[in-house]
Amino acid sequence: MHRVTLTQYLIEQQRNYGKVSPELRLLIEIIARACKAISHAVSKGPLAGVGDAVGTHNVQGEAQKKLDVIANEVLVEANEWGGHLAAMMSEEMATPYTIPHRYPKGGFLLVMDPLDGSSNLDVNISVGTIFSVLRCPEGVTEPDEKAFLQPGVKQVAAGFAVYGAATILVLTVGNGVVGFTLDREMGSFLMTQERIVIPEDTQEFAINASNARNWEPPVKRYIDECLAGKTGPRGKDFNMRWVASMVADVYRILSRGGIFMYPRDAKYNDGRLRLMYEANPMSFIVEQAGGAATNGRQRILEIQPRALHQRVGVILGSKNEVECVTRYHLQA
């Protein structure tokens, strides 16, 4: 059976829709290749001590795992020489990485969470890589933090890889959402989901329920109604999932619907998840798949970032459910 490869998809987006320039195509293909290398490293597990702490902490103060550092290095080394980037930033770097002068600069900014869900590495639960692509502002030759502080609506592409039983790559270039599966023998990403659409309704919610005592009233109201099931105002039973790897939770929602919630609360005043390299790329993908994404009160993609590593509340997934939770916040 002929399957469309990632390269063929990108060429078609370039030729038929003008959505992908040759520079952007090169960037996405290089990221995909880096994800293959990270997938290979993840699959070694305890044999390579991928989940071992390395004794350092990232800018968030989180203990870095060996694979956090490796994944960041793989992505930086893969992307610094190609001439398609002006700079890049990631969860693992306090400040932006500017392209060394020995290499040409390009027109894009790359924003990454090199290894999302790394606290799951030592228990063999799926982790992933999240990326977001912005344009470097006109006339900016030495991009600093300010150049990156663009709202999510400015993204030209976003995607994530899930390193699970299969390695899946989900991508949007602003023309819908597609899914590819890594064929390890061929070393190619082959299209396995031609046009991902999130069902507008769902009976499955994802939230870390151990934070319940810290939730704001609208969140408590929504979750209580889900828990009341058939006997409550929703008139239907709900199921719950929480992988604690955003890439795995979001991929499930893209595949069968659902609502993912990491709202701001009394413990995480600004929210737990990072705007630039978790919430924005995932929100772009979810909206392109017909879903919705807010912080409870505002569309995430319209939030004007104030700082590279700023956090935000995240409620995303099936449109009607996200709108219900957002309505509860606005009524509160």
211 within 8 A of 262, measured Cβ to Cβ: no
**Does residue 246 interact with ligand AFP by CB under 6 A?**
yes
Q: In a 3-state reduction of DSSP, which class is residue 231? A: helix
**Does residue 296 interact with ligand AFP by CB under 6 A?**
no
How are beta strands 167-172 and 204-207 bridged, if at all?
A: unpaired
DSSP H helical segments within 203-278, as ranges?
217-228, 246-256
Among the candidate windows 143-151, 157-165, 171-179, 240-248, which touches ligand AFP by CB under 6 A? 240-248
206 within 8 A of 219, measured Cβ to Cβ: no
**Does residue 250 interact with ligand AFP by CB under 6 A?**
no
**Does residue 265 interact with ligand AFP by CB under 6 A?**
no
Query: What type of residue sits at position 82?
Result: G
Q: Which of 76, 182, 273, 301 binds ligand AFP (CB under 6 A)?
A: 273
**How many residues in the shown chain lie near ligand AFP by CB under 6 A?**
12
Query: Shortest Cβ distance from residue 118 to ligand AFP (Å)?
Result: 5
Q: What is the token pair recorded at 307?
A: 């700082």
**Does residue 159 interact with ligand AFP by CB under 6 A?**
no
Q: Which of 155, 245, 283, 318 binds ligand AFP (CB under 6 A)?
A: 245
**Does residue 208 interact with ligand AFP by CB under 6 A?**
yes
Residue number, 190 or 316, with CB nearest to ligand AFP: 316
Alpha carbon 45 to its chain's center: 22
Q: Which of 5, 8, 14, 119 binds ligand AFP (CB under 6 A)?
A: 119
**β-bridge mates for residue 260, sequence order:** 206, 316
Residue number, 116 or 204, with CB nearest to ligand AFP: 116
Instruction: Pick the closest to residue 291 from 264, 316, 327 (CA basis).
Output: 316
CB atoms within 10 A of CB 236: 11
Instruction: Pick the closest to residue 71 from 86, 85, 51 (CA basis).
Output: 51
**Does residue 116 interact with ligand AFP by CB under 6 A?**
yes
DSSP H helical segments within 45-176, as ranges?
66-79, 145-148
Cα–Cα distance, 299 to 271 (Å, whole number) = 15
Residue number, 27 or 276, with CB nearest to ligand AFP: 276
In the shown chain, the binding pattern of residues 25 to 64 toward ligand AFP, with x for contact by CB under 6 A and - for none, equals -------------------------------------x--
Residue number, 96 or 263, with CB nearest to ligand AFP: 263
Q: Which of 244, 266, 307, 330 binds ligand AFP (CB under 6 A)?
A: 244
Contacts of 227 (CB under 8 A, 6+ apart): 238
Instruction: Pick the closest to residue 113 from 264, 248, 281, 331 (CA basis).
Output: 281
Among the candidate windows 21-29, 41-49, 113-121, 197-205, which touches ligand AFP by CB under 6 A? 113-121
Residue number, 246 or 308, with CB nearest to ligand AFP: 246
Contacts of 102 (CB under 8 A, 6+ apart): none
Among the candidate windows 92-100, 116-124, 163-171, 186-194, which touches ligand AFP by CB under 6 A? 116-124
Query: What type of residue sits at position 269?
Result: N
Query: Shortest Cβ distance from residue 61 to ligand AFP (Å)?
Result: 11
Residues that bind ligand AFP (CB under 6 A): 62, 116-119, 208, 244-246, 262, 272-273
